[in-house]
Amino acid sequence: MHEAWYGIVVFMLTAYVVLDGFDLGAGALHLFVARNDAERRQVLGAIGPFWDGNEVWLLAAGGALFVGFPRVLSSGISGFYFAIFLVLWCLILRGISIELRSHVKDILWRRAWDAGFAIASLLLPLFLGAALGNLIRGVPLDAEGWFELTLFTDFTPAPPAGILDWYTVLVGVFALASLAAHGGTYLAWKTGGLVQERSRRAARLLYLAVAVLWAAATLATSAVNPDLLAELPRRPAALALAAMALAGIVGAVLALARGRDFAAFLSSCAFIAGLSVATAVCVWPVMLRAEPDAARSLTALNAGGDPAGLRTALGWFTLGLPLVAAYYVFLFRFHRGKSVTPADSEGY
């Protein structure tokens, strides 16, 4: 049961990164690829039917952690308390920026909300990437499984480290570049005209930066957590997923160069999903790595919930997942085709 629920948590987090990742990336790019009000409304129209539903995957992942690994959730929430509030503030700012920007037909009003949308969309990938960096680097768990972190100390990953150090910031920048490129491929697929052209160009440049940052983050990870990469050759599934990520980034660049926007978006999804799941396979069964004493780590095996309860919850999950899948199939089919600039009376 613990293995199954670890897989469910990984699936939900990966779904969040892939799905909410494209509209986060679109938000991070929209001031660069959309130069006037009509173009910015076109970008918002492209993500409008999807962004709020995509964010639910983050809540679902939290619910899965609550059911499957309550000790991990409680320790993580208490230890990352301030960081979680930063994420919540950005989610709130992003949501109200989308919903309120067109309530008043005034250029200053709309530019202010556009700036709020861009700032929140830029910061969220940075924060989420830094959180992943903390999980890979390790946190100072005590004997009872609790920890607390300051925002930063001496900016090195050596204990006592803070939430921010050069490694976690590097992972955050890598996450931002990856999701911005992902958003660029989505906008190239769903928009037309100048916005499409700028999005293609931005995605191509960003994926070149992603390739460099991926290499840098891999070398840094080998220094900060050598156990993670040491597991890669011994886990064939992780090797296959890493190959899928590499194929995804190459495929995205080639498809963008040929104007095959949908293929580029699918390749981008493969890159992000492959890299995310490969990381989860390599760190299994560790969920909160203790540093410097690895024996205190919270794992899927020592921090899992009651097996009987997990079996019951698994039954409900298997009933609910097809409904969610059907909803997304309907949503993408209903909103297929290029985004157009909505009229003022239609929002955004």
- For 153-199, the pLDDT digits (tens) are 888 888 888 899 999 999 999 999 999 999 999 999 999 999 999 99
What is the C-alpha separation between 297 and 84, in angstroms, rounded? 21
Question: Using an 8 Å Cβ cutoff, are 183 and 47 in contact?
Answer: no
- Domain ranges in the chain are 2-335
Tell me if the pTM is above 0.75: yes
List the one residue out of 217, 215, 210 whose CA is nearest residue 157: 217
Type of residue numbered 237: A
What pLDDT score does 233 carry? 87
Provide the token pair at 273.
């999903």
Regions in the chain scoring below 70 on pLDDT: 342-348
The residues facing 139 across adjacent strands are 290
List the one residue out of 264, 60, 85 whose CA is nearest residue 181: 264
Question: Using an 8 Å Cβ cutoff, are 6 and 68 in contact?
Answer: yes
Question: Over pLDDT 70: what percentage of the chain?
Answer: 98
The residues facing 290 across adjacent strands are 139
CB under 8 Å to 80, separation ≥6 — which residues? 131, 134, 149, 163
What is the C-alpha separation between 337 and 115, in angstroms, rounded? 27
